[in-house]
Amino acid sequence: MKKNVLLKKLTVALVAGLLSVGVLSGCSNKETKSIQTEKETNVIATHDDNLHKDKVTAGEAEKAIIEGNKRFVSGKLANKDLSSEVRKDLSKNGQHPFAVVLTCSDSRVAPELVFDQGLGDLFVIRDAGNVVDAIETGSVEYAVEHLNVPLVVVLGHEKCGAVQATIEGGEATPDIEVMINKIKPSLDKIKVENKDAKQEEIASMVEDENAKETVNELLKSSAIKHLVDSGKLKVVAAKYHLESGEVEFLK
């Protein structure tokens, strides 16, 4: 009899324990789902659809990338909606980027990260030395004419290998030689104007001058210049600082 009573007590205790675990587990799952839902809501809420409207201005686009770079520098990045819904929308309705970024292929310079932007926000063109020929210029023309992008940023950067190769000279493959010849006029100009400068100073100034010269090359395109002259497009030079993460707009 005592054994039966004890067995019943143990059974009741065991069942009660299992029910308690189940309830706690259910609460935990609900809490987790609640947190996930909250995060998903925050991600969607931070997406600025105004930057993808038909008539976004160069000023609005420039403000967005400046604020994005500030977030990148501070480490307080915006949440981004990278969900399948966004990918489906971009596939179905096409792209509407608000800025073109023409920059170097250097692995340390990633425009979507540097400007803290998401899918469909930036139209990015990259090559070693952020120089332009017909292909790069045509790519910019496509973005500003057919996608109505109001802002083009030519983004140079510190410690550019292409600039360093131009300064050092020496043998190069025919294709690399083409790139070097694009940068060399900037080097020659800086050397003439700064005869007593050290090589490191020369390199920094050439990086700036090369970005500005790329802007000048883009403005030789009648399609691009027409949009600039009509006030529909702004083309600017900038420089990315590797350690600080800051983007400096060049004058």
136: pLDDT strictly greater than 80: yes
Q: In terms of domains, do 70 and 186 share one?
A: yes
CB atoms within 10 A of CB 113: 13
Quick one: pLDDT at residue 55? 80
CB 235 within 8 A of CB 218: yes
33 with 66, same domain?
no
One domain for residues 156 and 111: yes
Q: Is 157 annotated as a binding residue?
A: yes
For the segment 107-118, the average pLDDT, to the nearest whole number, is 98
Residues with Cβ within 8 Å of residue 197, at least 6 apart in sequence: 190, 205
pTM: 0.81
Per-residue DSSP letter, 79: P
CB 214, CB 102: distance < 8 Å: yes
pLDDT in tens, 51-89: 776 689 999 999 999 999 999 999 999 999 999 999 999
Task: Kindly state the tokens that stand for 113.
Answer: 């990260």
Per residue in 182-223, pLDDT (tens digit) is 999 999 999 999 999 999 999 999 999 999 999 999 999 999
- % of the chain beyond a pLDDT of 90: 77
- What are the C-alpha distances in Å from 147 to residues 36, 56, 136, 143? 35, 11, 16, 5
- The mean-pLDDT minimum among 5-9, 99-103, 108-112, 225-229 falls in 5-9
Q: Which segments of 143-227 are extended strands (E)?
A: 151-157
Give me the pLDDT at residue 100, please.
98
Query: Does 133 show up as a binding residue in the annotation?
Result: no
Instruction: Check whether residue 160 and residue 89 sit in a common domain.
Output: yes
- Whether the CB-CB separation of 247 and 69 falls below 8 Å is answered with yes
The verdict on whether residue 106 carries a ligand-binding annotation is yes
Q: Give the per-residue pLDDT at 162.
A: 98
CATH at residue 88: 3.40.1050.10
Q: Starting at the edge strand that comes first in sequence, how are the strands of the sheet with 122-126 ordered?
A: 122-126, 99-103, 151-157, 234-240, 247-249
- CA-to-CA separations, 93 to 81, 112, 206, in angstroms, rounded: 16, 21, 41
Pair 30, 145 in one domain: no
Q: How many domains does the chain have?
A: 2
Token pair, residue 63, equals: 């403000």
What is the overall mean pLDDT for the chain? 86
| 104 assigned ligand-binding residue | yes
- Based on the fold, state whether residues 33 and 58 are members of the same structural domain: no
Rounded to a whole number, what is the largest CA-CA distance in the chain? 108
Instruction: Tell me how far apart the alpha carbons of residues 28 and 34 are, in angstroms, rounded to a whole number.
Output: 10
Q: How far apart are CA 208 and CA 249, in angstroms?
A: 10
Provide the residue range defining the domain that includes 133. 49-249
- 65 and 85 inside one domain: yes
How many CB atoms sit inside 10 A of residue 39's CB?
11
| Residue type present at position 112 | E
Is there a single domain that holds both residue 59 and residue 30? no
Q: Are residues 36 and 99 in the same domain?
A: no
